[in-house]
A = this chain, B = another copy of it.
Amino acid sequence: MNKNFLIQVHNRVKPYIHKTPVLSSQLINDIAGCSIYFKCENFQKMGAFKMRGAANAILNLSEEERQKGVTTHSSGNFAQALSLAANKIGIEAFIVMPENAPEVKKKAVRGYKGDIIESGPLPKEREEMSIKVKEETGATFIHPSNDDDVIHGQGTAAIELLEEQPDLDYIFTPVGGGGLMAGTALAVKYFSDKCKVVGGEPKNADDGYRSLQSGKIEYNDSTNTIADGLRTNFGDRNFPIIKDEVERIILVEEDEIIEAMRLVWERMKIIIEPSSAVAFAALLKEKEQFKNKEVGIIISGGNVDVTNLPF
């Protein structure tokens, strides 16, 4: 791993992604007491950074592998990302989704031409179905966050952010399965001399915070958080990077997430999903510590049901 390797990753995915804008707001800066640069992956194709990792993973497959397609189990943004990336690259995507997944999520996957295979609702049933799909189709399984190519792809958002704002002191990301955070940590390691990575995580799904404390991957007994993209845990591919490179993880309450989300909606006029608001909420929570700093925040996505808002 070195800077050139990540530049190659970036060049590889560029034709399949948007170079998303970096936005700032004086009002938000006044509230936070520092200069914030929001990397707007809510404007990314399919509405989230996941497109970057999905594209990179597929583009790294051999011709033979591509012919058999790809598969994953996800009912969230990665299901849409893999479907769209596969479609753009011209291969098949088999998406294992629990039969009780919301119709709106199934519809989104179908809209991006993913083939949905339904499984039972339990994690075990989902995994068994994934194995079955893999055996029957020969498709390559791509994990939403614990996959080297996915991690490297997700890091390209931070590369673009640092290209625009090379003097950042910190980059905040939300803490979910660890793909975005590990990718961001690698980008920061090779593209900045001083920048540090900080995570924001819901207190109600604090596996990441506890993992950094204990030094091993921890799990959640319950994940009662509005930030539905952050209910997953780290894996053996991304946790070693996070353990070595990430400065700290800040926990936030549910009402702090909702307040941060509303602030961005009202002041910046952009739609961000609750998971994205967690990183900003973490900065606000400890704003004294980041006073007058230059802070990047990865706005991870904007896929939210506008008919069912928390405010």
Contact = CB atoms under 8 A, between A and B. Distances in A.
Contact of A43 (B269, B306, B311): B269
Given A42-B269, A270-B270, 8 more contacts: A21-B21, A23-B43, A43-B268, A43-B269, A269-B272, A269-B302, A271-B271, A306-B309
A272 B268 CA distance: 11
Residue with the greatest number of chain B CB neighbours at <10 A, chosen from A269, A270, A302, A309: A269
Interface in A1-41: 21, 23
A21 B269 CA distance: 13
Contacts of A62: none
A190 interface: no
A11 to B, nearest CB: 22
A265 B311 contact: no
Counting every copy of the chain, the complex holds 2
A306 B302 contact: no
A69 interface: no
A21 B270 CA distance: 13
A179 interface: no
Interface in A178-208: none
12 contacts: A21-B21, A23-B43, A47-B269, A262-B306, A265-B271, A269-B270, A269-B271, A270-B270, A271-B271, A306-B309, A306-B311, A309-B309
A306 B269 contact: no
A266 B306 contact: yes
Interface string A40-53: 00110001000000
Contacts of A272: 269
A37 to B, nearest CB: 15
Contacts of A214: none
A146 to B, nearest CB: 27
Give the 5 A-B residue pairs with the shortest CB-CB distance, closest first. Answer: A269-B302, A269-B271, A42-B269, A265-B306, A307-B311
